[in-house]
Structure 1
Amino acid sequence: MEHGTENNRNAARISIESIVDGKRIDDHIFGHFLESAFFQNIEGGVFDEGSALSDSGDTPLNGCRLDVIEACRELGLPIVRWPGGNFTSPYRWMDGVGPRDERPRTLELAWGSEESNRFGTAEFLAWCDAVGTTPYLGHSGRSVDDAVRWVEYTNYAGDTTMTRQRKADGIPEPRPVKYWGIGNEVWGPWQMGQRSAAQYVIDAREHARFMRLVDGDIKLIAVGWEKESWLEEVVPALGGIIDYFSIHLYGVSLHRMQPTEAEFDRIVAQPMYFEQTLQDASEVISRLLAENHITRRVGIAMDEWNIRHLEPASWPEPLPGDDGGVAPREIEAPDAPTAASGVQVNRYSQRTLADALFYAGVFHVLHRTSQLDVPVTMANTVNLVNANGLISVRPNGLVRAATFHVWDLYQNRMGRRPVDVRLDSPASTVELRLGAEILRASGAARTRPAMMSYLDVTATLSDDDRFLQIAVINRSARDAITAQLGLGGISASQATMSQIGAGVDDLFAWNSFDAPDTISLSAPITVDISAGTHEFPAHSITLLEIAL
């Protein structure tokens, strides 16, 4: 990529090179995540017993919000991970089976709350069927027998105590769950069952062996980490038996304190950190597989990712507001966090226009990393419902966040056959944040100087060879950029265009119940490209679809 300068922001070139003779982009990169006992993901989100908006039938779907199911069907959910997250580590799945009123109410140690267990495995599987998604269950990896019995409960067709329980819970036939996680971030001291890489390898191998004795077709996700020292131990030992290594990545937004153009730049640049980290992890895994003569095809599952909205810990605890965002509270004047004050994550801060461009940038990264030797073939954003999710749910209804429309664009309006694109774009320097870690000494994020291209582009071809889709992000906060379009010999005078963010003045605008369409995907219109150029508005995402 050739970078320009601040002085030629309106000069760029997008050149279609060729159809990549490589891997298809996997649908599962558009995956999602739900965590029990986590800021109304489940109770008060997908599940709200007694609500007039919830199912009242005599099935495990009873209590599930029908408006949430409808919105999820509208979008389409390829895969959903549950029950966590950190919640996975202490979770006992059998607490969530049997008659709801007889299930134990337990102290939940991951987030320090209480878990009713009224939404358990049968409810999750029924909900997955209702929305038309693939379930991905995460097990603690702390008990082989517990994991085996869970696979037996969901997948086994015989007549055992576990299968009888499943039938009694309202799932009469096996509901084979294909994707199973073995542990969650077990390298972290916040996990129940933290262990070394060497111990995790022993545990994971035993789990994999016996879980597959119940169902040999299941796919297993092992705990990975971007740290090379961890991968060097787990990849040689597990690469021949598992299907994915997980990587968890988060970005950081300080816009609640600093709603500035400079902060916007720092937000929209962070997919660059994701890309470098995923490329590095893929290279390490590929090298270790080759060195150990392992030929099994494995992928990377970025099965947790998002951007966290941070604010000073001295501010009052954020609570859900009736407008779909944060409830009103008295706070100090916006300011940067300090080492003394610390920070907190605002779990009810709605997704903004800046976030929409960040998410779009991550999808561009996932398109490109789908072609690596060890590709990214699954990604699950944290979260689907509430807690900074795609859908903000309140007792009286729901609102689709800005990011809901980003998913709609990339998942539903682009193909899965990647096209090779060359981009020449103006650029500027930015302090690139390197993950969500906040340094205790300074109260600031880790950063390094980087060159950020204002435009970012990805392209795909439809399966029937009839349409070329080109998605372009303009990361400039204030300037439109005109790009020459080199279509690689394709003769086209017009394209169908849809956009997100064009014409929105506030860089941190968000969708509320009163203004649910502030940031949305525009209806497609026909635009003239006969001159071989197109202007991409400031702070926007544009999809051009060209008939071939």
Structure 2
Amino acid sequence: YCNGSIDTPMGALRAANGHPEPYNVRYWEIGNEVWGDWQVGTCSADEFAERCKAFALAMKAVDSSIVILGCGHTDPEWNKPVLDIAGEQIDYLTMHLYHGFGRFGMNRDTPAEERYKAIATFPEWTREDIRQAEELIRANSKHSHVKLAVTEYNTMYFPNTVRKGLPDEHTLGAAVANAANLNEMLRRSDMVHIGSFSDLVNGWLGGCIRVGDYYADQYRGKKPGWSGQPLTVYGTPTYEVLKLYANRDIRRILPVDAECGTFAVESPKQTRIGLDAVPDLDVTAGINEDGSVITLLIVNRSLHEVKAKLDLLSFEPFGDTILHEITGDSFEDINSVFEPDRIKCVPRVVPVSAWQDGYPLRKTSVYAIEIKKEQRSGVAK
């Protein structure tokens, strides 16, 4: 239906539906969370791998240019048989990265600051998930070509309080965690080629664009229009993060050495990663195609202000820097139909000298710093 000519039965149906030209879809994901009992067709890893292999072979026999994504997991016990059986036929192994209270054994009685610190460790968990998957991928040459596709990621503040109208998934704290997780995926862009936030509009509680005063079941029991603003459209703080990152001109990732304080997470449950010394700042950097602009992406995950000093080594700045800031008074701040712009990304000009003296980064906030290099005859100096 998507790619066939109008001479095929399904291509003819597509044309009859108003689109005679093929859609030319290149990326195809086989299976979605097939390991979960909530999915139609749920099965064992071995059974899925055999299905995936059969589909991939048949699809590529028709069009060898398509790209196949096979349903993966954060559990190596699922990924290993999928790679062993179907690894030669797939191009990507998918992962869904959802970060919530459950892995820490926390609940609503856990102090809010401890819950926030736990959520802010999103990149540490992602780093370990990528490491485990990469280890399996590289273990055998027949599937060492496979890369990772994070086809869903978000914070999930379970157990949440959607019945009480407190959407933790929409908080500034959630945005901080999602930004730090984006930094980790950028750092590992050698392995992670696809990163898709879940989801974009309304949908479940995590949707980053909200329409009106009634969505998912946040205000269950209330009828649409109860606020008097049923058609207000706004973005969550995480929407501001995604917009900020999407509009930066980055083509290559640069090495970064960040020296900062740390915080600890007091987890009631034993975790598979260390939580005793989590860096306050999560930092990554990139440069544009012609080498004229460096972008630093800094997430202050801590509960206190941090003064940041930059050492750009041989990169000589030209003019002032542009600072983009996403911040608020509390990590629990949200946007809503009543205050749709409470958390917004605000750009400002900051002199280079301010970074040499130490520029204050507010607690639980996200920053992008753009630093230009002097141009001579159209080439960066």
TM-score range, shorter chain: 0.7 to 0.9
Matched, 1:517 2:369: no
The alpha-carbon deviation at position 406 of structure 1 amounts to 0.3
SS in structure 2 opposite 1:187? coil
Which residue does the alignment assign to 1:233? Answer: 81
- Aligned pairs (5 A) from 1:235-250: 235-250=83-98
Q: d(CA) in 2 for partners of 1:239 and 1:354?
A: 37
- 8 A Cα contact 1:497 1:527, kept in partner: no
Q: Which residue of 330, 340, 357 maps to 2:176?
A: 357
Which residue does the alignment assign to 2:265? Answer: 430
- 8 A Cα contact 2:178 2:238, kept in partner: yes
Matched, 1:382 2:198: yes
The one-letter code sitting in structure 1 at the alignment partner of 2:177 is: F
Which residue does the alignment assign to 1:401? Answer: 236
1:272 to 1:431, Cα distance in 2 relative to 1, 3 A: farther
Instruction: Encode CA deviations 1:496-535: one digit per residue, 9 max, x unaligned.
Output: 111001xx21221111122111111103323343662332
Q: Which residue of 132, 137, 146 maps to 1:280?
A: 132
SS in structure 2 opposite 1:311? coil
SS in structure 1 opposite 2:258? strand
The one-letter code sitting in structure 1 at the alignment partner of 2:340 is: P
Q: d(CA) in 2 for partners of 1:281 and 1:453?
A: 24
Matched, 1:411 2:246: yes
SS in structure 1 opposite 2:120? helix
Q: d(CA) in 2 for partners of 1:360 and 1:349?
A: 16
Which residue does the alignment assign to 1:420? Answer: 255
- 8 A Cα contact 1:304 1:381, kept in partner: yes
Which residue does the alignment assign to 2:379? Answer: none
- 8 A Cα contact 2:282 2:298, kept in partner: yes
- 8 A Cα contact 1:225 1:231, kept in partner: yes
Matched, 1:197 2:21: no
Stretch moving more, 351-360 or 383-392: 383-392
After the TM superposition, list the runs of 4 or more consecutive aligned residues in structure 1 that deviate by more than 3 angstroms.
253-259, 444-449
Count of aligned pairs: 346
- 8 A Cα contact 2:321 2:351, kept in partner: yes
Which residue does the alignment assign to 1:70? Answer: none
The alpha-carbon deviation at position 399 of structure 1 amounts to 1.1
Q: d(CA) in 2 for partners of 1:516 and 1:446?
A: 39
Give the TM-score normalised by structure 2. 0.84
Q: d(CA) in 2 for partners of 1:257 and 1:529?
A: 45
- 8 A Cα contact 2:6 2:20, kept in partner: no
Q: d(CA) in 2 for partners of 1:400 and 1:531?
A: 30
Q: d(CA) in 1 for partners of 2:284 and 2:274?
A: 24
- 8 A Cα contact 2:179 2:366, kept in partner: yes
- 8 A Cα contact 2:179 2:241, kept in partner: yes
1:542 to 1:294, Cα distance in 2 relative to 1, 3 A: closer
The alpha-carbon deviation at position 300 of structure 1 amounts to 0.6
Which residue does the alignment assign to 1:487? Answer: 312
The one-letter code sitting in structure 2 at the alignment partner of 1:460 is: G
Matched, 1:457 2:283: yes
The one-letter code sitting in structure 2 at the alignment partner of 1:427 is: T
Q: d(CA) in 2 for partners of 1:157 and 1:446?
A: 55
The alpha-carbon deviation at position 192 of structure 1 amounts to 2.4
Q: d(CA) in 1 for partners of 2:242 and 2:35?
A: 31
Q: d(CA) in 1 for partners of 2:27 and 2:36?
A: 23
Matched, 1:307 2:155: yes
| Larger RCO (CA under 8 A, 6+ residues apart) | 1
Which residue does the alignment assign to 1:159? Answer: 7
Q: d(CA) in 2 for partners of 1:539 and 1:235?
A: 39
SS in structure 1 opposite 2:35? coil
The one-letter code sitting in structure 2 at the alignment partner of 1:226 is: T
Q: d(CA) in 1 for partners of 2:284 and 2:247?
A: 15
Q: Which residue of 316, 324, 330 maps to 1:506?
A: 330
The alpha-carbon deviation at position 245 of structure 1 amounts to 0.5
The one-letter code sitting in structure 1 at the alignment partner of 2:242 is: W
SS in structure 2 opposite 1:421? coil
SS in structure 1 opposite 2:170? coil
SS in structure 2 opposite 1:384? coil
Q: What CA RMSD, in Å, does the superposition of the two structures yield over aligned residues?
A: 2.4
1:248 to 1:445, Cα distance in 2 relative to 1, 3 A: farther
Give the TM-score normalised by structure 1. 0.59
SS in structure 2 opposite 1:497? strand
- Aligned pairs (5 A) from 1:22-61: none
- Aligned pairs (5 A) from 1:44-193: 153-193=1-41
Unpaired runs of 5+ residues, structure 2, are 213-229, 374-381
The alpha-carbon deviation at position 309 of structure 1 amounts to 2.5
Which residue does the alignment assign to 2:69? Answer: 221
Instruction: Encode CA deviations 1:449-488: one digit per residue, 9 max, x unaligned.
Output: 51210011000001121101111111112x2111331101
The alpha-carbon deviation at position 423 of structure 1 amounts to 1.1
Q: d(CA) in 1 for partners of 2:188 and 2:137?
A: 14
- 8 A Cα contact 2:122 2:178, kept in partner: no
The one-letter code sitting in structure 2 at the alignment partner of 1:241 is: Q
The alpha-carbon deviation at position 240 of structure 1 amounts to 1.7
Instruction: Encode CA deviations 1:423-447: one digit per residue, 9 max, x unaligned.
Output: 1111022146xxxxxxxxxxx7664
- 8 A Cα contact 2:168 2:174, kept in partner: no
1:349 to 1:357, Cα distance in 2 relative to 1, 3 A: closer
Instruction: Encode CA deviations 1:195-252: one digit per residue, 9 max, x unaligned.
Output: 2222222211111121223322211111112222322222132222111001122111
The alpha-carbon deviation at position 191 of structure 1 amounts to 2.5
Q: d(CA) in 1 for partners of 2:28 and 2:158?
A: 31
The one-letter code sitting in structure 2 at the alignment partner of 1:506 is: S
Instruction: Encode CA deviations 1:254-274: one digit per residue, 9 max, x unaligned.
Output: 787657222221111222111
1:310 to 1:529, Cα distance in 2 relative to 1, 3 A: same
1:401 to 1:530, Cα distance in 2 relative to 1, 3 A: closer
1:472 to 1:221, Cα distance in 2 relative to 1, 3 A: same
